[in-house]
């Protein structure tokens, strides 16, 4: 089919083409060659969208991307643009984007509120899973058909096609579901490092975290459950709070309570059912962080890895003196391991 020759992106138009191709075989009992001829006229639409012919007769391949030229609210500054797809250099890899998630940090970058700011104009997005379609002459670790994820931030992944150096990518099993592969690099890695780097945790230990329904929070719950570590998970109150509690319990959460519950005096009775917590994880800040700290042992570690409330972490002086307060930022500690 044309898609195999011209490396057409599987957009809605291409899926429509595939549906026509299959329908022609099944409905009219055509052979594959005839069905392809019937469907090929629709492929022209994809070719027109993804390439341009210059005055000199050269073909320029294009990629659709979400681009911003100034910082601000995403709904105000993001635009869909067509961008040239760079040629593949000897150490480069070209991949077709299969999925790219939206993280809170992606929004913060676009707003200009993140510690690292890209040069403008920039393409949004950091995490991605893609399929390799072409490799440079010196690339031996990857081949067309492989699935890869971003091993470093800043690729600008909200686009059809990405071309980058091979060492900015990590191979993942093709069998790994796309939605899991696309979200593998940031949240699970953050959860794993925070549970491993600061306190030696063992079976029966207890971890307290706010923002427990976040991507990191859900990863913490599952990693802790595997290691038989108790988790006391704090979430905001909401209309579907009971459903959220049931969902987190199904992931392996030991206890799920609301922010309001955690601010009450009698909540101590719940914490006393478990071993004293030596690790707290804070992604909210403000009063929520203070209330987490109150339930930790005096020599515990409170790890702050986010500030979704945009309020400062305020703690009693005795806690500041006796406890360990650290911050965690995955970008600041990540080293790509390729073994």
| Tokens found for residue 34 | 């005839």
The Cα 38–Cα 128 span in angstroms is 34
Please count the residues of the chain. 339
Active site residue 305: no
| Tokens found for residue 6 | 């011209």
The Cα 56–Cα 37 span in angstroms is 30
SS3 of the chain: the string is CHHHHHCCCCCHHHHHHHHHHHHHHHHHCCCHHHHHHHHHHHHHHHHHHHEEECCCCCEEEEEEEEEECCCCCHHHHCEEEEEECCCCCCCEEEEEEEECCCCHHHHHHHHCCCCCCCCCCEECCCCCEEEEEEECCCCCCCCCCCEEEECCCCCCCCECEEEEEHHHEEEECCCCCHHHHHCCCCHHHHHHHHHHHCCCCCCCCEEEEECCCCHHHHHHHHHHHHCCCEEEEEECCCCCHHHHHHHHHHHCCCEEEEHHHHCCHHHHHHHCCCCCEEEEEECCEHHHHHHHHHCEEEEEEEEECCCCCCECCCCCHHHHHHCEEEECCHHHHCCCCCC
What residues contact 265, with CB distance under 8 A and at least 6 apart?
Answer: none
Catalytic hit among 6, 42, 114, 247: 114
273: number of Cβ within 10 Å: 11
Q: Which residues are catalytic?
A: 114
């Amino acid at each position: 089919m044309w898609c195999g020759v011209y490396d057409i992106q599987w957009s809605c138009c291409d899926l429509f083409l595939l549906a026509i191709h299959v329908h022609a075989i099944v409905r009219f009992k055509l052979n594959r060659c005839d069905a392809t001829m019937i469907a090929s006229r629709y492929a022209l639409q994809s070719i027109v969208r993804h390439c341009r012919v210059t005055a000199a007769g050269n073909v320029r391949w294009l990629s659709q991307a979400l681009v911003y030229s100034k910082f601000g609210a995403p709904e105000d500054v993001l635009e869909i643009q067509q961008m040239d797809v760079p040629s593949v250099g000897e150490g480069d890899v070209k991949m077709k984007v299969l999925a790219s998630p939206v993280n809170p940090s992606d929004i913060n970058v676009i707003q200009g509120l993140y510690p690292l700011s890209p040069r403008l104009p920039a393409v949004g997005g950091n995490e991605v899973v893609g399929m390799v379609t072409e490799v440079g002459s010196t690339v031996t670790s990857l081949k067309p058909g492989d699935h890869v994820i971003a091993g470093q931030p800043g690729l600008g992944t909200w686009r059809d096609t990405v071309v980058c150096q091979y060492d900015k990518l990590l191979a993942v099993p093709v069998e790994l579901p796309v939605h899991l592969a696309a979200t593998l690099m940031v949240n699970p890695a953050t959860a794993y490092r925070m549970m491993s780097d600061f306190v030696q945790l063992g079976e029966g230990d207890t971890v307290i975290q706010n923002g427990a329904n976040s991507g990191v929070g859900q990863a913490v719950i599952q990693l802790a459950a595997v290691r038989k570590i108790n988790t006391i998970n704090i979430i905001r109150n909401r209309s579907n709070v009971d459903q959220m509690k049931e969902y987190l319990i199904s992931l392996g959460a030991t206890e799920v309570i609301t922010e309001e519950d955690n601010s009450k005096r009698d909540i101590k009775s719940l914490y006393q059912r478990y071993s004293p917590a030596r690790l707290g994880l804070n992604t909210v800040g403000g009063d929520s962080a203070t209330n987490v700290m109150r339930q930790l042992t005096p020599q515990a570690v409170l790890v702050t890895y986010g500030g979704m409330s945009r309020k400062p972490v305020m703690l009693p002086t005795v806690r500041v003196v006796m406890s360990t307060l650290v911050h965690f930022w995955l970008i600041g500690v990540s080293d790509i391991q390729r073994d």
